């Protein structure tokens, strides 16, 4: 094995270890990806596998009994090692794979396609860690569309890997933060602070002489190679102008009145690198009198970015991956004014699934979840990709259309969307037709805020349901408030 391959193998093992995914229980998200992959080709077998040191372990699988196989006889391991897709119309007739004893012993393995799955970046490097694979007992010539859809599923699986790793890191970061706060409450002096908090710089200012001391780690956080007293005296210069009053006032209040402080601030070091720092300070008392200020200085940039990502995740619907109601509200509030100023058109569609309760009652909540995910997938597929799609909750969705081509003939666009949202769900002995009813409204001069848009769309939706479920209604004039009942001016789209 070459040095490069050894390095890739080492990163793969590090990635799998960091994710803590090997030998774990089945998880619905991965099972759903396997089910979707199998449905693309109508195949008997599909699985998500991970390549460990000497084995291929299956995170999710359908139609494939073993939980793991030896790596040396795995075609998927080859795909991972060489980081390439492998598509075989008939394994039994393949000049290389058909000669493998393991393949010959399984004549029902004929059509075969495997897509490498990239792991989350480790130290900026991402390597293949497994595959998304589909196998069938018949030869098959895969179309470009089928392969593209399978590749898109592979990217979703990779996003699940990243989410899993982020969650692990978040758990560690939050636990470290909790422990740190608990320790700081008990710390009284600079030496104890430095001991309890590894990799944190400390500093001290003498109140009589105003002489400053920075520890080596404090100097490193500031990005100074050869520190001088001038660097120390100009410590506030490393904070941006909007942060300087906060830290300056906190230090002065601490020096004069003994008020401790604990701040998180933006910071730019001597090399121009942006950082997020935590600054803690308290008075030093000797013989009952204040003699100095001592404190600690911590680079929390990585944790800050992680917490920022977690806050962003709070705006995503967990089941469908779409923006949730809170994010939709933010988007509408910021977009409406922009569209008015630019003189551009916009339409809001309120989408309600028909008889969704029947699906949950008769087929189970898992089928209901599949329907919601399927609807979400349609709302972000072409030609609606790039538009704001959100889940309000339950079986209600919103689509905000700004694309001029889609707005040019809104009834036709609604007709297209109604078709995309009409499909069957069920099992062998029972299927239910899924459909949706849509209420649409235009953004106009008299219908120009979020509540009015949603109110008009809701009214249009109500009219469509009264007419016939599975249709759409448009409120062209988008008259809000009490005037809705006086002049709805609605059109039905079958």
Q: What is the pLDDT of residues 181-194, one digit of tens each?
A: 677 565 534 443 44
CB 397 within 8 A of CB 389: yes
Cα separation, 57 vs 272, in Å, equals 46
What residue ranges of the chain have pLDDT lower than 50? 188-196, 198, 478-492, 494
Cα separation, 82 vs 75, in Å, equals 11
Query: Could you write out the DSSP letters of every residue in 447-488?
Result: B-SHHHHHHHHHHHHHHHHHH-TT-EEEETT---TTHHHH--
Q: What DSSP designation does 89 have? A: S
Burial class of residue 202, CB neighbours in 10 A (0-12, 13-18, 19+):
buried
Cα separation, 260 vs 412, in Å, equals 65
User: Residue 283 to residues 257, 289, 297, 315, 388: CA-CA distances in angstroms?
Assistant: 9, 10, 15, 41, 52
Helix, strand or coil, per DSSP, at residue 277 = strand
Q: State residue 445's pLDDT score.
A: 78
CB 413 within 8 A of CB 384: no
Place of tokens 């509200």: 329
Q: Give me the residues paired with residue 88 across strands.
A: 112
User: Residue 167 to residues 126, 161, 217, 219: CA-CA distances in angstroms?
Assistant: 18, 10, 29, 32
CB 47 within 8 A of CB 64: yes
Q: State residue 1's pLDDT score.
A: 54
Read off the tokens for 390. Answer: 């959100």
Residue 312 φ then ψ, to 5°:
-65, -40
Q: State residue 79's pLDDT score.
A: 94
User: Residue 267 to residues 171, 309, 377: CA-CA distances in angstroms?
Assistant: 26, 20, 41
Q: State residue 338's pLDDT score.
A: 86
Cα separation, 422 vs 470, in Å, equals 8
Q: State residue 189's pLDDT score.
A: 43
CB 437 within 8 A of CB 460: no
Q: State residue 444's pLDDT score.
A: 85
Query: Could you write out the DSSP letters of every residue in 284-330?
Result: EEETTEEEEEEEEEEE-HHHHHHHHHHHHHTTB-TTT-SB-HHHHHH
CB 46 within 8 A of CB 62: yes
Q: What is the pLDDT of residues 68-77, one digit of tens each?
A: 999 988 999 9
Cα separation, 344 vs 366, in Å, equals 41
Residue 309 φ then ψ, to 5°:
-65, -40
Read off the tokens for 428. Answer: 């062998």
Q: What is the pLDDT of residues 352-402, one digit of tens each?
A: 999 888 888 888 888 889 999 999 999 999 999 999 999 998 999 999 999
């Amino acid at each position: 094995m070459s040095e490069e391959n050894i390095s890739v193998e080492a990163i793969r093992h590090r990635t799998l270890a960091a994710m803590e995914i090997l030998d774990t229980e089945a998880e619905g998200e991965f099972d759903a990806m396997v089910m979707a992959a199998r449905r693309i080709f109508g195949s008997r077998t599909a699985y998500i596998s991970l390549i460990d040191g000497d084995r291929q372990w299956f995170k999710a699988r359908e139609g494939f009994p073993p939980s793991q196989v030896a790596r040396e006889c795995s075609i998927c391991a080859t795909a991972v090692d060489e980081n390439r897709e492998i598509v075989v119309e008939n394994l039994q007739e393949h000049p290389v794979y058909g000669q493998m004893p393991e393949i010959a012993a399984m004549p029902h393995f004929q059509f075969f396609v495997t897509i490498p799955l990239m792991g989350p970046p480790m130290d900026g490097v991402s390597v293949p860690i497994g595959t998304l694979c589909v196998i069938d007992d018949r030869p098959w010539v895969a179309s470009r569309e089928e392969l593209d859809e399978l590749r898109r599923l592979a990217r979703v699986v990779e996003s699940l890997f990243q989410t899993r790793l982020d969650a692990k890191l978040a758990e560690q970061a939050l636990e470290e933060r909790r422990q740190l706060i608990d320790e700081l409450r008990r710390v009284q002096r600079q030496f104890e602070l430095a001991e309890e908090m590894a990799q944190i710089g400390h500093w001290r200012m003498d109140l009589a002489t105003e002489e400053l001391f920075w520890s080596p780690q404090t100097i490193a956080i500031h990005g100074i190679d050869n520190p001088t007293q001038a660097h120390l005296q100009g410590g506030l210069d490393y904070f941006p102008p909007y942060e300087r009053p906060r830290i300056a006032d906190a230090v002065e209040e601490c020096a004069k009145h003994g008020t401790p402080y604990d701040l998180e601030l933006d910071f730019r070091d001597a090399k121009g690198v942006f950082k997020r720092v935590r600054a803690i300070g308290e008075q030093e008392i000797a013989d009952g009198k204040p003699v100095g200020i001592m404190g600690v200085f911590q680079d929390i940039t990585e944790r800050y970015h992680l917490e920022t990502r977690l806050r962003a995740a709070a705006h995503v619907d967990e089941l469908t991956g779409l923006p949730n109601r809170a994010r939709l509200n933010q988007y509408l509030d910021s977009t409406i004014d922009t569209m008015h100023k630019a003189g551009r058109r916009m339409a809001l569609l309120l989408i309600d699934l028909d008889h969704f309760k029947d699906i949950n009652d008769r087929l189970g909540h898992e089928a209901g979840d599949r329907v919601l995910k399927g609807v979400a997938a349609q709302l972000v597929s072409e030609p609606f990709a790039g538009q704001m799609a959100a889940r309000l909750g339950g079986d209600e969705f919103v689509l905000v259309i700004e694309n001029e081509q889609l707005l040019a003939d809104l009834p036709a666009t609604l007709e297209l969307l109604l078709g995309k949202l009409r499909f069957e769900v069920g099992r062998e002995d029972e299927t239910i037709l899924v459909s949706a009813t849509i209420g649409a409204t235009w953004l106009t001069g008299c219908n120009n805020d979020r509540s009015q848009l949603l109110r008009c769309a809701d009214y249009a939706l109500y009219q469509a349901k009264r007419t016939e479920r599975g249709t759409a209604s448009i409120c062209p004039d988008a008259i809000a408030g009490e005037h809705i009942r006086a002049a709805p001016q609605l059109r039905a789209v079958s």
